[in-house]
Structure 1
Amino acid sequence: MTAPEQRAVAGMEERLLFTLARRNEAEAERTATSDYSYWRSTWRAFLGNRTAVVLLALMMSLVLLTIVQPYLPGQKDPVHIHRDPVTGLQLRNQPPGPDFWLGTNSIGQDLWARLWAGTRTSLIIALIVGAWEIAFGILVGAAWGYVRPLEAVITEAYNVIDNIPTTILLTLLAYIMRPSFQTMIIAMCATGWLGMARFVRNQIVILRDREYNLASRCLGTPTSRIVVRNLLPYLVSVIVLRMALSIPSTIGWEVFLTYIGLGLPLDQPTLGNLLNEGRQVMMAPSLRYQLIFPAAVLSVITVSFYVLGNAFADASDPRNHF
C-alpha cells in the first residue's frame, strides 16, 4: 500500500472515532447569558446570617402583633380608665394578671393595650421620618455632590442649619407649635435629613469623576440618569444601613422630647410616654413592670434594626455574593 493510500485509510479511521456535533441554537442562547440576579444574591447572602434571620422574624412578629392587636378578642381601650365596679375607684397600679395582662398604670389604664398602641404610634412616626430622611436626604445629597453650581449654595445652607443644636431646634419647634402627631413629625423632619445628605454628597464626590461617568457626560447622558444609574447603585448598602439606624434614632428623639415634656399628649400612647410614666414609679420595686415592658420593646426594636441594617449592608455588597 502506497503512502497516500495509508494516509487516506488513517484519516477514515480517525473520522470514525469522532461524532459531528450539531449546533443547538436554543442551548447556545441559554448558555450565553448569566442567570445572576443582584437582589436574589443579596437575599441569599442575607439568609446566610442566622442572627439576622432570627431578629427579622422577631421584628416581623412584633410589627404584626402591633397591627392586629386592636382586633384580637378581649382587647381593652388604651386610654380608658378602669374602675372597680363596687367602689368606683380607679384600678391603679394593678399587677399583671388575668384581667390586665401587663397590669395597669397609675390612673387605671391597661398597660397591654397602651404598650402596643404606643409602639404602633412610635413606629409610624419613625417610618415617616425615616422615609423623609431617605428621600429628601438623597435628593439634596445627590444635587450637592454632583451639580457643581449648587455646591456652594447647599454648603452654606447646610452649615447654617447644622450649626443650630438639634436639641434646641427640636425644642423650639415643639414649643412653638401645639404638641401633636404632626408637630412631632415636622420637628424631627426639620433636621433628620442633614446626616443623609452629607453622607450621600461625600460618596458622590468620590465617584462622580470616574471614567464611566465622564464617558456618560461626553455622550450627553442626562444628569438625573447618571445619578440614578451610575452613582446611587453603589450606595445601596450604606443607604439601607442608615435608614435602618434612623428608625430607632427617631424613636429615641421621640422619647427624649417626651422626657422633657414636649412630646405627644399623655392621652396618646407612645413609647416615650410609657417610658416617662414608668420612670416616675421605677423606685418602687412592685411597680417597675411599668418601665420594664416598654423598655424591653424599645430594646428589641433598636437592636433588631441595628443588626438587620448591618446584615443587609454586608449582604448587598457584591463581594459577599456567591
Structure 2
Amino acid sequence: MGSFNKKSVQLSDSLNQATAQALDGLSAADEKELFAFAEYHPEDAEKTGFSGYSYWRSTLRVFTRNKMAMFLLGVIIVLLLFTFIQPYLPGQRDPIVINNDENGIQIINMKPNSEFWFGTNSIGQDLWSRVWSGTRTSLFIGFSVAMWEVAFGILIGVLWGYVRKLDFFFTELYNVVDNIPQTIVLILFSYIMRPSVGTLIFAMCLTGWLTMARFVRNQIVIIRDRDYNLASRCLGTPTRRIIVRNLLPYLVSVIMMRVAMAIPLAIGNEVFITYIGLGLPVSTPSLGNLINQGRMIMMNPSLQYQLVFPTVVLCIITVSFYIIGNAFADAADPKNHVF
C-alpha cells in the first residue's frame, strides 16, 4: 500500500512539472487566447432552459407517422369532399327521380353500366346519386350526434366530477336515464314523432351523452385532488381556468377517440332504426334506407349490387373513423411524445 502511494505522488509530481514547462513555453498572446473569460448573455441563458416543446405539434408529429391512419384520413377527406360536390358535377341525376327509357318505361333493376354506374333500383332511381345523397344524410346525422355528445357530455361530466355538491344530482339523473335502453328510446320517438332526420338526431342525443359524461366524470374524480390542482385552488385560480387548463388536457386523447367512434355509431343506429321500419322515409335517401332495401332483395344474385355499394361505403366510413380515432388517441397521449 505504501509503495502504491509513493508511485502516485511521483506521477503527480511528474505531471505538474510537465504542465509547468508547457506553460513556460507559451507566449503572452497564447496564454491570453487559452485563458479568456467567457462572456455572459442573458438571452442565451434563457434559451438553454427552454425546450421548445409543443403538445399539439408533438401530437401531430406522432400521428403523421402512422401511415395507415394518414391514408384513411385522406380517404375520409376525399369521401367528404366528393359527397358534397357530387350534386354539382355535370351529368348527375336527381336521387329521387324515376328514370325512364325512350319509350317511357321505367329503367328498373338495371345492372351497373356506363350510364348508371351503380345501376338502378326497383323503381328506376339512379343508385349512384342515391348512395352519395344517402351518405350525406348519414354523415350529417353522425356529426350532429357526435358534436352534441362532446359538448353536452363533457359539460355534464366535468360538473359531475369537479363540483362535489352536484354529484348526487347527476348520479341520480344518470341512473334514471341509463336504465332506459337506448333502443327503446329510438323506437319510441321514431314511432311517436314524424320520421325525419331531426327526429333521429333528437332521439339519439337524448341518451348519447351518457357514456361520455360518465367517463369524463370518472377521470375528473381521479385527477381533481392532485397537488397542482389543490395549489391552484389555494391561489384563488377560477374554477373555469382549472378545468380548462389543468383537467381537460388530460382527457384530449379519450375525447377524440369517443368523437371518432360516435360518428359510425350514430350511422349504425340510423341503419338499425330503418331496418325495423321506423327510420327515414324512402323519399329521403340514407345509408340505412339503401341497405334495408338491398337486404330485402339480397337473395336474388342479379340484384345483390343494390346491397353491396351502400354497404361498402358504410364499412369504409366505420373502419376509417375507428382507426383514425385510435391513432389520434395514441398520438395525443404525452407518454408517446419524444422530447
Compute the TM-score of the two structures, normalised by the length of structure 1. Answer: 0.94
1:79 and 2:93 correspond: no
Distance 1:221 1:32 in 2: 26
Matched residue, 1:50: 67
Deviation at 1:111, TM superposition (A): 0.4
* Shift in CA distance, 167/16, structure 1 to aligned 2, threshold 3 Å: closer
Distance 2:230 2:40 in 1: 42
Alignment map for 1:133-152 (pairs within 5 Å)? 133-152=149-168
* Unmatched 5+ stretches in structure 1: 1-5
Distance 1:259 1:175 in 2: 14
Matched residue, 1:265: 281
2:38 to 21, 37, 42: 21
Secondary structure of the 2:87 match is: helix
Secondary structure of the 2:225 match is: coil
Amino acid aligned to 1:277:
Q
Deviation at 1:25, TM superposition (A): 4.8
Matched residue, 1:121: 137
* Shift in CA distance, 16/84, structure 1 to aligned 2, threshold 3 Å: closer
Secondary structure of the 2:145 match is: helix
Distance 2:57 2:33 in 1: 47
Q: Percent identity?
A: 63
Distance 1:28 1:152 in 2: 52
2:300 to 264, 270, 284: 284
* Unmatched 5+ stretches in structure 2: 1-19
Distance 1:65 1:181 in 2: 21
Deviation at 1:16, TM superposition (A): 3.8
Deviation at 1:40, TM superposition (A): 1.0
Compute the TM-score of the two structures, normalised by the length of structure 2. Answer: 0.89
Which entry has the higher C-alpha Rg, 1 or 2? 2
- Provide the aligned length of Structure 1 versus Structure 2: 315
Cα deviations by residue, 1:233-270 (Å, 9 ceiling, x for unpaired)? 00000010011001000000000111111111111100
Distance 2:226 2:41 in 1: 41
Deviation at 1:29, TM superposition (A): 4.2
Secondary structure of the 1:240 match is: helix
Matched residue, 2:195: 179
Deviation at 1:27, TM superposition (A): 3.9
Distance 2:278 2:243 in 1: 40
Instruction: Tell me how large the CA RMSD over aligned residues is.
Output: 1.7
Matched residue, 2:262: 246
Matched residue, 1:102: 118
Distance 2:220 2:291 in 1: 40
Deviation at 1:76, TM superposition (A): 0.5
